Amino acid sequence: MPKSGAVRRMVVAAIAVVAVGTGLVATAPALRDGVHDVPAAAPPAAPSHEPVEDARPADVAEVALEPAALEQHVASGIVVIDTDLGASHTAGTGIVVADDTVLTNHHVVDGGRSIVVAIPGSGTVSHAYLLGYDRSRDLAVLDVPGLPAPTLSFAPDADVTPGTAITAVGNAEGAGVFAAAPGTVTSVGNTITTRSATDGSLNRLHDLIEVDARVRPGDSGGPLVDAAGRVIGVNTAGDADQNTRMQNARARSFAIPIADALATVDAVLAGRETDTVHIGPPPALGVELADRGHGPQVQAVTPDGPADLVGITVGDVLTMFDGAPLHSSTDVRDHMNDAHPGDRVQITWLDAAGATRSDTVVLVSRGR
């Protein structure tokens, strides 16, 4: 599959997942308190890439592995992700899917300054660059120069049904070592709602695999594998956290089917932008938002960012985006999904005195 030579960026964040009747959390833990937007900076030089053939290993026959062998096999094809938010760090997991290419959750890499990828026990540490993402599927594709070739096999056509034995493997609780969580599939075709810790916007994730494995913070972006060690999903959300063992409660965790994830990888590496797949860095307005009764209210402003340059301050309420009314931070996120760095947009807002103001801003690359 060809790789895009599109502009890269370094980004990171964490989200909380909410579902009716549950207390689900996304599985990328914050290592320190605080999530903040960051100032724009000069982009790093984007290395050029020649087209490469698909480096994913071919599917293998389904032969059940012993637990220790399965965990060792899976660990050889995944990486630890540590992300810098400026005032905090988050941790997650990534799957090596092609030469120098890692698949992870978008919420692991959304809204920060840089991404560092490590292979535990090897001493290998590399900076990663965002090639593209699909926020609607919570997926991101990273360029990580110098990674070993992928070793895992993928089973996009696997018959995943309730009762299928699975194991989730990842950087549990951000400890920097891989841990396995065995379980079974409990249902398929699930929908959950995620809330961004960066801007409060909501995101609906569809067609997820539900499992009873105890997927923990830090496992985000790691593989869900079958008994033969074939990847059938990408771990995304779970109801276990760092402080609650929940020994007497049935675990509920969710994964994105690997067929959907690989479709996003293929689109990004081909440079094929769609309604949901974005190539290169996302745009930034330079504000943190929270929903209040009167709309998306500004909680923080990036110094010298687009919003700051036109006089938007903490406490202001955004009311329109290029003439379209804004009722929530989700509305802002939806409009930003269709925008690109360098776009000029008209922002209207209410200031602290209740006066309506409007100005044109030029969106920048988040994390630059």
Q: What is the pTM of this model?
A: 0.74
- Shared domain for 147 and 193, answered yes or no, is yes
**Residues 353, 167: Cα–Cα separation, whole Å:** 55
Q: Is residue 249 located within the same domain as residue 269? A: yes
Whole-number pLDDT of residue 117: 93
> CA 340, CA 342: separation in Å to the nearest integer?
6
Q: Provide the pLDDT for residue 226.
A: 95
Output phi, psi for 9, to 5 deg.
-150, 165
Compute the average pLDDT of residues 140-150: 90
The answer to whether position 4 is within a domain reads: no
Question: What does the buried/exposed string (b/e) look like for 49-68 if buried means 16 or more CB atoms within 10 Å of the residue's CB?
Answer: beeeebebeeeeeeeebeee
Check whether residue 258 and residue 335 sit in a common domain: no
Spatial contact of 309 and 287, defined as CB atoms under 8 Å apart: no
The reply to whether 214 and 72 lie within a common domain is yes
Q: Same domain for 84 and 174? A: yes
When pLDDT is cut at 50, 70 and 90, the band that residue 283 belongs to is: confident
Closest CA to 95 of 117, 115, 113, 112: 117
Question: Rounded to an integer, what distance in angstroms lies between the CA atom of residue 146 and that of residue 212?
Answer: 35
DSSP state, residue 280: S
Q: How many domains does the chain have?
A: 2
**pLDDT (tens digit per residue) in 193-226:** 877 655 566 788 999 999 999 988 899 999 999 9
Mean pLDDT throughout 84-93?
A: 77
Given 220, 250, 278, the domain boundary residue is 278
Euclidean distance between CA atoms 302 and 313, whole angstroms? 10
| CA distance linking residue 273 with residue 279, whole number of Å | 6
**Residue 309: phi, psi to the nearest 5?**
-65, -20
Residue range of the domain that includes 288: 282-365
Region of 52 (left: φ > 0; alpha: ψ -120 to 50; beta: rest) is: beta
**What is d(CA 96, CA 113) in angstroms, rounded to the nearest whole number?**
22
Shared-domain flag, residues 34 and 183: yes
CATH assignment of the domain containing 69: 2.40.10.120
Q: Which two tokens stand for residue 52?
A: 């490469």
1 within domain boundaries: no
- What is the Cα 121 distance to its own chain's centre? 25
pLDDT (tens digit, 9 = 90+) per residue, 287-336? 888 888 889 999 889 889 999 999 999 999 999 999 999 999 889 988 98
The domain spanning residue 329 has which CATH number?
Answer: 2.30.42.10
Whether residue 194 sits in one domain with residue 99 = yes
Tell me, what's the pLDDT at 240?
60
